[in-house]
Structure 1
């Protein structure tokens, strides 16, 4: 089963320094029929103005992943970590029993990223942070497996049965993705336009996929993120 989530039907917010598109209920956007998708709780498509950002704030019992699309984001936290990442790179944080962190755009260009929150498989984990600088070419016309659970093969491992892949599909190319029985996936069309099983997606649209394989046809060079997970009961 496939369900298109058009970007113009998502929640949005404009704070001046921060412009956001909310895939799920978040902040002032509330839709009782759109709270989560399995273990996936939040995907916010954020634009952060230069020399602004999120000052220090707390998190608890959440797996938090940030995928950079444009610009550069600088992270700092109460565990003593401080690092910057740019396009196609990932930072991840297991908030566990509690952590404080900040995220700032100290560059001269607008920073765009996907902020992702995933429920852990249990509460009370020890907080943890890491980042990974993937080569952009590793996702050209092929799926780059970036995130998995602790038993998986991806370089980033989180406390939940979720796999995250990225892809840049060049115009005219096609690629498959399997979503097996008992599994579901959430695909974000970050950039470009594609046809997926006869459904057209444009930039910032999304697709809910439940137990169905997909074929992606790149009508323009396109950039995707997909989160594959256990099917929600």
Structure 2
């Protein structure tokens, strides 16, 4: 089953310094029919103005992945980690029993990043942080696995049976993504336009695939992220 989600129908928030699109219920956007997709709880597409950001705040029992699309993301946390990430780079924080952190745009242009929350396979993990500066060319016209749960060799591992991949396709290039039986995937068309299983995808659109392979053709240069996981029907 394939279902396209138009970004124009997603939840939205504009605080001036922060402009967000919510793929699932979050903050002031609440839709009881759109709380999550399996273990995937949050995808926020955030634009943060220069000099602004999220002040120090707590989290518990959530696997949090940030994927930088444009600009710079500066992280600091109560585990004494501090780092700045740029386009195509990834940070991971397992909130576990509790952690405080802040995320700021200390660069010279608007920051865009995807904030992804995945529910862990159990509560009570020891908090952990990691980041990785992937080479951009490693995702050109091929899938790059950036996060692993159940399989693969990505340098970032989370506490859940979920895997994250990215690709940048040149115009007219095609690529497929396999979704096995009892598995599902959620796709974000980060940049560019493509045709996916006969659905026209625009920038910031989402797509659900349940036990059905994904076939992609780029109409223009396209930057795409996929989160693959066990089916929400599987216990």
Interval containing the TM-score (normalised by the shorter chain): over 0.9
Kindly provide the CA deviation profile for residues 11-52 of structure 1, in whole angstroms up to 9, marking residues without a partner as x: 000000000000000001011100000000000000000001
Aligned to 1:142: 142
The DSSP-based 3-state class of the residue aligned with 1:79 is coil
How far did residue 154 of structure 1 move?
1.3
- For these two proteins, the number of residue pairs brought into alignment is 233
- C-alpha displacement of 1:133: 0.2
Matches within 5 A, 1:147-226: 147-149=147-149, 152-226=152-226
The residue number in structure 2 matching 1:81 is: 81
Moved over 4 A (4+): none
Q: Which deviates more, 166-175 or 148-157?
A: 148-157
Equivalent residue runs for 1:118-129 within 5 Å: 118-129=118-129
* 1:160-212 CA distance string (max 9 Å, x none): 00010000000010001100100000000000000011110000001000000
**Who is 1:4 aligned against?**
4
How many Å apart are 1:108 and its aligned residue? 1.4
State the alpha-carbon separation in 1 of the partners of residues 177 and 151 from structure 2: 21
User: Superposition RMSD on alpha carbons, in Å?
Assistant: 0.8
Residue number in structure 2 paired with 1:19:
19
> For the Cα contact (< 8 Å) 1:168–1:222, is it kept in 2?
yes
Q: Does 1:33 align with 2:33?
A: yes
TM-score by length of 2: 0.98
Q: 1:153: Cα distance to partner?
A: 1.8
Aligned equivalent of 2:66: 66
- Taking the aligned partners of 2:174 and 2:108, their CA distance within structure 1 comes to 36
Inter-partner Cα distance in structure 2 for 1:116 and 1:196: 22
Distance apart, 1:110 and its partner CA: 0.2
In structure 1, stretches of 5+ residues that fail to align are: none
Match of 2:130 in 1: 130
Task: Supply the distance in 1 between the matched residues of 2:151 and 2:199 (Cα, whole angstroms).
Answer: 34
Deviating more after overlay: 27-36 vs 149-158: 149-158
Confirm or deny: 8 A CA contact 1:150 1:159 kept in the other structure. no
**CA contact under 8 A between 2:150 and 2:162: conserved in structure 1?**
no
SS in 2 for 1:138: helix
Write the deviation string for residues 144-170 of structure 1: whole angstroms up to 9, x where unpaired: 011011664211100000010000000
Residue aligned with 2:36, SS? coil
